[in-house]
Amino acid sequence: MKTIVTLFALSLLAGRATAQLFTAQTTETSFFSKAPLEDISAINRKIGVVMNTSTGDIAVKMQMTDFSFPNKLMQEHFNENYLESDKYPTATFRGKIQELIDFTKPGSYPVTVKGTFDLHGVKKERTLPGTVTVQAGKIALTSEFTVALADHRIEIPKLVFQKIAEVISVKNTWALVPYQRQ
Amino acid sequence: MKLLVSLLVVGLLIPAVSTQALAQDDLMDLLNIDSSQVTRYTAATFKAIRIINGHSVETTKAKHLDFVISHRFDRLNKGPSEFFGLDYATLRLGFEYGLNDRLMIGVGRSSIEKTYDFFGKARLLRQSSGARRTPLSVTAFGSLAIDSRTPTQGGEFRQTTDRYVYCGQLLIARKFSDRLSLQISPTVLHRNRIKESFEQNTLVAVGVGGRFKLSKRISLNAEYYFVPGEQLGTKNQRIHHDALAVGFDIETGGHVFQLHFTNSFGMIEKQFIGQTGDAYGGRWQNGDIHWGFNLARTFNLGPRLGNAIR
């Protein structure tokens, strides 16, 4: 009888231990480009992230219209002409962490993530650097990389008074918590 | 005992089943949002808050200030001695501010009749798709124009209110596609004092306008304001005519240039609806065509971004 109760309790615990999915709690993805007249920068705090800690698989999805610019006219042009958000509403990344990380041990681990980056309807294989920081019940993911606009067929108009850089830098800071199924 | 065994079985099964289900699910599926649950408002029906002379359904964005400089050069048919009108121009300077994303105010000064204008614009309805569908955008517009000339400058008025002209408009537009947007603008214009006795003080006019994008960053715009009937006098009496304008919007990365040709010399409702002709404009068929432009510099007076990378 006692054994059964213990087994039952253990089975419940085992169930908990198998919750290997982590999902976004707070996120921040921003990009920046130096420009002579007015720097171009935008920030998106509504990034969807899911990570499977047992396999290292990671999926990221964001709505382009959630990027907020200090200059709203620029934001409108970003969506209307550069990213064509009506046609290509989201950007996604589907990849795998290459290193084996013990997600039960707190600490900071440099990682590389290999996968497919889909932006403006153009898919590109990328290997991106990042850092995984494991804390009690939380995982922090940070990553900085650059995106060449030409790689994703994002046109820079010839007729602009404001010269736009061909490569922009992107920065991600995401906090993940165990996934709760609704 | 039996209960406990079944509990145990269930207890073992639940996590096993759910873990398996999660493993099989594509991670990306967990991030899908049902887009029919979200209302998407149509952005950029027009590139600017004016189609050409008249206002569009667009308003200046929240906490953004536009400094607007507009010019209309003299008539092309003035010929080479006047450098085809470029030797002389009328001007309007304006400050236009978005109180929020649906409400804006503006103030301007036109060189014609030294006129100050004050206006407000409110978005009543925004075209949208998704959870809430709205086929049209509707914006209300109201303005007051004040002739500030002194008697020596030609401004002789019996009373101050004679200097005032009021305008009310309902701007109704639809973005049919990425490229095509059309607008109809029923208008009432009231002049407290008029020079010509055969004209009505209150004019009921209709504006129609639209844009067609030639490329991602250049659109062709056209706008026609007509005053039906004999409100401006009979065919033989008329000295003021309907206003027709054709031009281009050129987007230059954060700014929009509007270059156009029009038969009206003035740039506010009072002038292009009621005063196109005589001293302030003419007729297209006579070559009374004014080249002009609107250009705006936008300043964000609201909060800047917090943690964006530098």
Distance from CA of A13 to the nearest CA of B (A): 9
Closest CA to A143 of A105, A107, A182, A109: A109
Q: Do A160 and B23 touch (CB under 8 A)?
A: no
| Residue numbers in B near A19 (CB within 8 A) | 19
- Give strand pairing partners of B181: B175, B211
Determine the topology of domain B36-300 in CATH: Porin (2.40.160)
* Tokens read off for A94: 């589907």
Query: A128: which residues sit within 8 A by CB, 6+ positions away?
Result: A95, A112, A113, A114, A115, A117, A143, A145
Side chain identity at A24, as an amino acid letter?
A
Nearest CA in chain B to A27: B307
**pTM of the complete model:** 0.82
Would you kindly state where each structural domain of chain B is located, as residue ranges? Answer: 36-300
- Give strand pairing partners of A140: A133, A175
Query: A48: which residues sit within 8 A by CB, 6+ positions away?
Result: A23, A24, A59, A60, A61, A62, B30, B31, B33
Nearest CA in chain A to B6: A8
| Residue numbers in A near B7 (CB within 8 A) | 8
Distances (CA, A) of B5 to A8, A16, B10, B141: 9, 20, 9, 74
pLDDT, tens digit only, all 310 positions of chain B: 566 556 555 555 554 444 444 443 578 888 887 767 888 899 899 999 999 999 999 999 999 999 999 999 999 999 999 999 999 999 999 999 999 999 999 999 999 999 999 999 999 999 999 889 999 999 999 999 999 999 999 888 999 999 999 999 999 999 999 999 999 999 999 999 998 999 999 999 999 999 999 988 899 999 999 999 999 999 999 999 999 999 999 987 667 899 999 999 999 999 999 999 988 999 999 999 999 999 988 888 877 654 343 3
- How is domain A20-178 classified at the architecture level of CATH? Beta Barrel (2.40)
Q: Do A57 and B27 touch (CB under 8 A)?
A: yes
Best to test chain A binding among B2, B31, B177, B215 (most A CBs inside 10 Å): B31
Integer Cα distance of B241 and B275 in angstroms? 8
Distance from CA of B248 to the nearest CA of A (A): 14
Side chain identity at B309, as an amino acid letter?
I
Side chain identity at A46, as an amino acid letter?
K
A166 touches chain B (CB under 8 A): no
Query: B30: which residues sit within 8 A by CB, 6+ positions away?
Result: A21, A23, A48, A50, A59, A179
What pLDDT, on the 0 to 100 scale, is given for residue B11? 53
A8: pLDDT strictly greater than 90: no
3-state secondary structure chain B: CHHHHHHHHHHHHHHHHHHHHHHHCCHHHHHCCCHHHCEEECCCCCCCCECCCCECCCCCCECEEEEEEEEEEEEHHHCHHHHHHCCCEEEEEEEEEEEECCEEEEEEEECHHHEEEEEEEEEEECCEEECCCECCEEEEEEEEEEECCCHHHCCCCCCHHHHEEEEEEEEEEEECCCCEEEEEEEEEEEECCCCCCCCCCEEEEEEEEEEEECCCCEEEEEEEEECCCCCCCCCCCCCCCCEEEEEEEEECCCCEEEEEEECECCCCHHHHHHCCCHHHECCHHHCCCEEEEEEEEEEECCCCCCCCCC
Q: Do B309 and A169 touch (CB under 8 A)?
A: yes
Residue B5: CB atoms within 10 A of its CB come to: 12
* Tokens read off for B305: 């971004």
* Tokens read off for A111: 């990682």
Would you kindly state where each structural domain of chain A is located, as residue ranges? Answer: 20-178
For residue A178, what pLDDT band results from cuts at 50, 70 and 90?
Answer: very high
From A28, A58, A86, residue closest to B178, measured CB to CB: A86
Query: A135: which residues sit within 8 A by CB, 6+ positions away?
Result: A106
